[in-house]
Amino acid sequence: MSDTDKLRYPIGRFAPPPTSTPELRAAHIQTLRLLPERLKAAVAGLDNAQLGTPYREGGWTVRQVVHHVADSHINAYVRFKLALTEDWPTIKPYDEAAWAGLSDSKLPVADSLALIAALHARWTALLESLSAGDFEHGYNHPQMGRQDLATVLAIYEWHSRHHTAHIVALRARQSW
């Protein structure tokens, strides 16, 4: 893995688990439950200039990463609900980079941290109520194809750790 790839993928690229077990899903849900506090801890004490620092050359700023997590996980939550209430709906993708460039991605991170905390409280409650069969539901992603909810859960578990690691690794490199 190149140095750029190590900065871009500090925990490695996503690899879907070979199977979905109740224990694995419970561990993934636990990561989602802990994300709000872990992300809050990752940015604790950072000043405005530090929040405006890209985690890598050409990458998003710490502030944009936090806002991106909120944007992405809101979309994931809605997609879960669509998959649970419709028969393999086709979801609408969005341009993450364009969203990261919108003016609300310059707001204080506290707003997105609060949103992530509330969202994850609801999302984990929903996830814990699902049966094994519910995780076989899914949606059609126009770019990624059919995705069942067990795989999507694994993706967002990885996504949570991935973006938190961007911030933690930057802090370590910068000795913040």
Domains detected in the chain: 21-174 (1.20.120.450)
Q: Is 14 exposed, middle or buried (0-12, 13-18, 19+ CB in 10 A)?
A: middle
- With tokens 């539901």, the residue in question is 137
Q: Per-residue pLDDT tens, the chain, 176 aa: give them.
A: 788 899 999 999 999 999 999 999 999 999 999 999 999 999 999 999 999 999 999 999 999 999 999 999 999 999 999 999 999 999 999 999 999 999 999 999 999 999 999 999 999 999 999 999 999 999 999 999 999 999 999 999 999 999 999 999 999 999 99
- Contact criterion met (CB below 8 Å) for 22 and 147: no
Q: What is the pLDDT of residue 2?
A: 84
Q: What is the pLDDT of residue 73?
A: 98
Q: What is the pLDDT of residue 1?
A: 76
* Residue 149 one-letter amino acid: L
